[in-house]
Amino acid sequence: MKRPNILYLHSHDTGRYVQPYGHAICTPHLQKLAEEGMLFRQAFCANPTCSPSRACLLTGQYAHSNGMLGLAHRGFALNDYSQHILHTLRRHGYIAALAGVQHIASHTDGGAWRKIGYDRHLGDPSVAHTAAAEFILSNPAQPFFLSVGFVETHREFPDAHPEDDA
């Protein structure tokens, strides 16, 4: 049986009010993907913030088990990056590529994609859509897990101020 390619699209703060879920916000490309791929209608979010939510999805573990109890850019991290789904997929012949943001490892060292275990980094969020399309059109010989992270819909997040926590 041929192994399917896996395209994991994720964005910040987009919500569910888009065309594939029956709402008026026109998203024709997402609609086409939903029609030709898989659309989850009975899903829930395991955590209310970005990093822990993604970590739960990609490890299959709740945040209290995987270690991602807060935002990656605030110093939180997975206990064990080998629990990320891409490592399981690799054992089954997949290659793993990242285009855009991933938000489960800190970007401070510039090699977060390596820390997680991606085989290739295709570019930052400003070129994610183009880089992902070029990767897919290159027709890789192996099945792939391609993570494409978009930030265009992200709301501004205030800086932490200790005096505000009083």
So which residues are the catalytic ones? 50, 103
Enter the tokens of residue 41: 């209608």
